[in-house]
Structure 1
Amino acid sequence: MDKISIKKILKRSFFLLLLHVISSNSFAQYLRTSYFMENATNRLQLNPAFQPTRGYIAIPVIGSFQASASSNALGVSDVTDIINSKEDFWDNDKFFDRLKTDNRVNVNLNTNIVSLGFYRGKSFWSANIGVRADVNASIPRTMFDYLREVNNSEPIDLLGKDFSINNQQMNATVYTEIGLGYSREIIHRLTIGGRMKMLLGSANINMDMRDLKIEENLTSGTIISHGTLNVSMPGTAVETKTDDNGTEYVNKVKYDKAGVAGYGMAVDFGATYQLLNNLKLSASIVDLGFISWSKNSTTTAVANQERTIEYKGYGTASDGDVLDMKYMGYAIQSPKSKTTSIASTLVLGGEYTFFQNQLGLGVLSTTHFSEPKTISEFTFSANYCPKSWFNVALSYSTMQNNRQTFGLGLKLGPVFVGTDYMFLGNSSKTKDVNAYLSITLPLGKSRAASRSN
C-alpha cells in the first residue's frame, strides 16, 4: 500500500479540520466582551450607533486584528496533545474518540488596514478599509474512519468492502471592506447610526460533496460521487481531461494572480436609547449584504458519475488520492455569474451603570445567521472604567449545546486586547479560542461619557 499518498490525504483532511478549526457552535466574528466598554473603538463593529468619548485613528495595518477558532469535536488541549504526539494522529485513540458524527468548522479573520473616527458638531463619523476571511466546513467522521482503516490494513483485507462518506461541505469567502459610518442623537436620549460598506470579493469557494462511495475490488476500485464545486477567483485556470466515456472532467485548478472577482454592498444599522439615567438599551443588525461574482472569474463543476480505477497488482482506491478532483469526477459546466450573501448578525443589549457610570453590568444577545445553521449566544459582562485611558471588562457567555466561556477585555492607553474565550492552558477543555488586538491614538477633544447621553 502506498502510505505516502495516504498521509497526504490525511494531512489535507486533518489540517482542514484544525486550521479551519472548527464549528458552527460559536460566533466570534466580532468581540462581544468589548460591547459595553466605553472607550473600546472596536465595539462600533457591532453597533454603528455607539459614539466613543473622543475620536480616534488606528495605527495603519497593525491597528486592528482579530482571529477566532473553535471546535465542536476537539478542545485546545486535545489539539496540542495530538500535535505533540510522536505517533501518527490516525493511530491516536483519543483523537477518534472525540470526533463527532459531523465535525463542523468555522474560522474568522478580520483586520483593518485603515480605521478612524471623528466628531463633527453633534455627529460622529467613522471610516475603515479592512480585509475579512470567513471559512465554514463540515467533515464527517466516516472520512476519518475510512482513512484510518485503509492506513492500518493490507490491501487484501479491504477486498469487497464498501465505504460511504456523505455530506462534506466547505464554504470560504475572502473580501475587502471599505466602510463609512455615521451616528447622531436625533432626539433626546435616542441615537441612531449606520454604516455603508463597499465589498471587493477576492475569493469564494463552495464545495458540497453530498455522497462519496468507494467500493474495493481485487484489481480495481469504484468511486461513485455526487456533488458540486464552485470557485470564484481572479486568474483561475482550469485544466481538464476527457475520460474513456468522453466526459470532460476537472484535472487541476490553478490560480496565477490576486485581484477582484466580485463586487457587493453591505449595510449596518444600529440604535441606542437611554431609557433611564442608569439604563441604556441598544440594538443593531450588521453585515446585511451580498457580493456578486463575475462569470469570467467563476468555475463550476459537478460530480455525478461512477469512475473505475484500475490497480497494478493489489491496491486500494486510497492509492489514487480519492480526494483529488480528477478521481471524484468533477465535470466542467458553462461559466455563470453568481450572487452570495454574507452572514449577518442581530445584536440586542442592555446595560445598567453604578457609581457615576464607572461600573456597568450588561447583557448581550447575538444571533449570527450563518450556514449551515443560525448561531445564538448570550453574554453577561461587568465593566469598570474609572479613567478614559483605563477600561476593563469580564464576560461570561453561554452558547448552544450547554457550552460556557469566560472573556476578558482590557484597554490601557492606546492599546486594547481582548478575548471572548479565555484559554487557561493545557488543562482547559475549551473548544473556542479568539483574540483581538488594536492600537488607536486619540483624535480631537474628549466628549462626555456616552452612557449618560
Structure 2
Amino acid sequence: MRFHISACIAIAILFSIAGNSVAQTNTLYFMDKIPGRTGVNPGFIPSQDFYISLPSVYAGMGNNSFAMSDLLKSVNGSTVTPFDKGAEYQSFLHILKPLTEIKSEATLSILGFGFRKNKNYFSFGLSEKVVSSASIPKDMFRLLLEGVNQNSTSQHFDLSSLAIDATAYVETSFGYARQVTPRLSVGGKLKLLFGQLNTKMSFSQLSLSGTEAQTTMTGAGTMRLSVPGKIYADKEGYPDFANMHGDDFGPTKFKGTGLGIDAGAAYKLTKDLTISAAITDLGFIHWQKSDWEGSVKANTTFNNMSFAVNGGNDFGAVLDTLKQSLHFKPNGSAYNSSLTAHVKVGAEYSILKDKIGFGLLYDSRFASSATSGTITASANLRPLSWINLSVGYSLINNEGSNIGAGLNIIAGPFNWYVITDYLPLSYAEGGIPKMKQCNVQTGISFAFSAPKKKVHKQQAEQTPPPPGN
C-alpha cells in the first residue's frame, strides 16, 4: 500500500506538471510560413492563398517550483522520488516555493482551413482543448513527506491555498483578417465554445494542528463537478463514481456553451522592422448547472496518525472520516468559468531580404488565480523557400529557461512543422532533464498559392503608336 501511494503521488505530480503553457508555442510566433500562426495573433495573414490543416497536437506541462530532476533522482542505477521510503527528501522541500502552481494544457486541432479573397482572409477551426491547474502549498508536501511527529510540540500545517481546477471543451473559431494598408494588417476570431467537463475545488480554510498522538483538522471549502454524462447517487447520497455507466457519457454531451474572442494587428514600421500585438482566449463558458456541488466543513480529530506517505497510516480510515465532513447535493445552480487569456506584444527585425529575423516577444498570461509573463528572444532563419528554422530562449517570471526550437519544412503544398519552447540541454545523473517546463506542437497543412503575375513594363512602352502618327 505504501508503494502504491508514493508512486501515485509522484506520477500525478510529474504528469500534471504544467507551468506557463499556452495553446501554441511562443516559438511559433515568428515562423511566418506556417498557416496556423494565426492562432497566436489573428492579425497575421498567411502567405498562402488557401490552406487546409490536418489534425495537429499541442501539449504543454510545467510548474514554478521544481525541475524534473528534483522529483526524479538516479540512486545506484534506480530512479527514486522523494516520496519513496527511505529516500532523501530535504533537498526537494528546500527548493519548493510557498505555493507550487501546476498547470497543463492539451489541444487537438481537428480541422482548419482558410482562404484569401482580395485583401481579406477568412479562416475556420475546430479543436478539442483540456486545461487543468493545481495549487499546492508547501505545507502539503511537508505533511506528506515528514508528517506530524509524535513526541514533538504541536505542529501546524496551513493547507488553505490548496486548489484544483480542470476544464474540457470543444472550440469552433471563425477568423477574419484584412490587409488594411501595405504596412498594416488586422484580424480577429470569434469562438463558439461547447463545455464538456468542469471541476473545481478550493478552500477558504484548511489546516492540520497537533502531534501524531492527536491531530485536529479544520476546514471549509467548496467543490463543483460538471461532466458529459450522468453520475448517480449511492445509498448515502454521495456521487457514485465507482458505478458510472459508459452509455451515459459521451464527448458530444455538452454541459455548457460560451464565447471567446481573439484580436490582433501587425504593422511594419520600416521595411525591416515589424511590430505586433494580440489578445487571445478572452472569454467564458456558461455551465447550465453543476451535476454535483459539495461543501466541506471539517473539525475532526485523528489519533495516532502521522499523515506521512511512509508513516504506516490507515488512509482508508482517514478518507472514511473525512467523508462525513463532505456534503453533496445533485443538480446545482448554473455558473460561469473563464478562459485563460493571453496578451502578446512582439517585434521582429529582418536582414538579408528577410532571410534572417531577430524577434522579441512578451506573453502575459491572465488566469483567475495568478498572472505570469514570458519573454522570448528568437533568431528566425529562412535560408530557402522550403525550410524555416527558429531558435529561441525564454525567461519565465524572471527565471531563465530552456532553449526553444522550431522546424518547418515545405515541399510543394505539403507544410509540416514541429516546435518546442523547451529543449532540455542540461541533465542530471541518469539522464533526467533539469527542466520545469516542456511543450511540443506539431502539425501538417496543405497550402496553395496562385502563381505570381509577372511584372511588365508600362503599357506605353509595349504598345506601338496608333496608325497615322
Question: Which range, TM-score by smaller chain?
Answer: 0.7 to 0.9
Counterpart selection for 1:44 from 14, 38, 42: 38
Please give the TM-score of this superposition, normalised by the length of structure 1. 0.84
**Residue 57 of structure 1: aligned partner:** 52
- Partner of residue 291, structure 2: 298
In 1, are the aligned partners of 2:100 and 2:138 still within 8 Å (CA)? Answer: yes
1:95 aligns with 92
1:116: how far off? 1.7
Rounded Cα–Cα distance in structure 1 between residues aligned with 2:142 and 2:232: 32
Question: Which runs of 5 or more structure 1 residues have no equivalent in the other structure?
Answer: 243-247, 449-453
Q: Deviations over 1:342-384 (max 9, x none)?
A: 0111111111111111111111111111132111111111111
Rounded to whole Å, the distance in 2 between the matches of 1:88 and 1:367 is: 33
- 1:364 paired with 2:361, answer yes
Give the letter aligned to residue 76 of structure 1: M
**In structure 1, which of residues 71, 95, 103 is the aligned counterpart of residue 63 of structure 2?**
71
The question of 1:423 aligning with 2:419 is answered no
Report % sequence identity.
27
> Judging changes above 3 Å, is the alpha-carbon distance between structure 1 residues 250 and 221 closer, same or farther for their aligned structure 2 residues?
farther
Out of 133, 138, 141, the residue aligned to residue 136 of structure 1 is 133
Alpha-carbon displacement from aligned partner over 1:71-113 (angstroms, at most 9, x marks no partner): 2222133344279525773433243343332221011111201
Distance 1:218 1:85, change over 3 A: closer
How far 1:265 sits from its partner (Å)? 1.0
Greater relative contact order (Cα < 8 A, sep 6+)? 1
2:21–2:439: 8 Å Cα contact kept in structure 1? no
2-structure distance, mates of 1:35, 1:87: 37
Classify the secondary structure of the residue corresponding to 1:276: coil
The structure 1 residue matched to 2:160, chosen from 166, 184, 193, is 166
Does the 8 Å CA contact 1:347/1:364 hold for their aligned counterparts? yes
Tell me, in whole angstroms, the C-alpha distance in 1 between the residues paired with 2:324 and 2:145.
20
Taking a change above 3 Å as real, the CA distance of residues 316 and 183 of structure 1, as seen in their structure-2 partners, is same
- Give the 3 Å change call, closer, same or farther, for CA 353–439 of structure 1 in structure 2: same
**Who is 1:16 aligned against?**
12
Deviates more, 1:233-242 or 1:198-207: 233-242
How many residues of Structure 1 are paired with residues of Structure 2 in the alignment?
Answer: 427
How many angstroms does 1:219 deviate by? 9.1
RMSD over aligned Cα atoms? 3.1
Q: TM-score, length-normalised on structure 2?
A: 0.81
Amino acid at match of 1:392: L
For the 8 Å contact 1:369–1:375, the answer to whether it is kept is yes
Q: CA deviation at 1:48?
A: 0.8
Give matches, 1:15-414, under 5 Å: 15-23=11-19, 26-54=20-48, 55-59=50-54, 61=55, 64-81=56-73, 84-86=78-80, 89-90=83-84, 91-93=87-89, 94-150=91-147, 163-214=157-208, 222-237=216-231, 239=233, 256=245, 257-258=249-250, 259-295=253-289, 297-307=290-300, 318-321=313-316, 322=318, 326-327=322-323, 329-333=325-329, 335-413=332-410, 414=415
Aligned residue type for 1:397: S
Higher Rg: 2
CA separation in 2, counterparts of 1:53 and 1:29?
22
Aligned counterparts of 1:304 and 1:294: Cα–Cα separation in 2: 26
Q: Deviations over 1:198-248 (max 9, x none)?
A: 111111111113433446789986542211111111324253676xxxxx7
**1:236/1:254 contact within 8 Å kept:** no
Aligned partner letter, 1:194: G
CA distance, structure 2, for counterparts of residue 325 and residue 272 of structure 1? 59
Letter in 2 for 1:199: L
Contact in 1 for aligned 2:298/2:322 (Cα 8 Å): no
CA contact (8 A) 1:76 1:426 kept: no
User: What are structure 2's unaligned runs of at least 5 residues?
Assistant: 308-312, 454-469
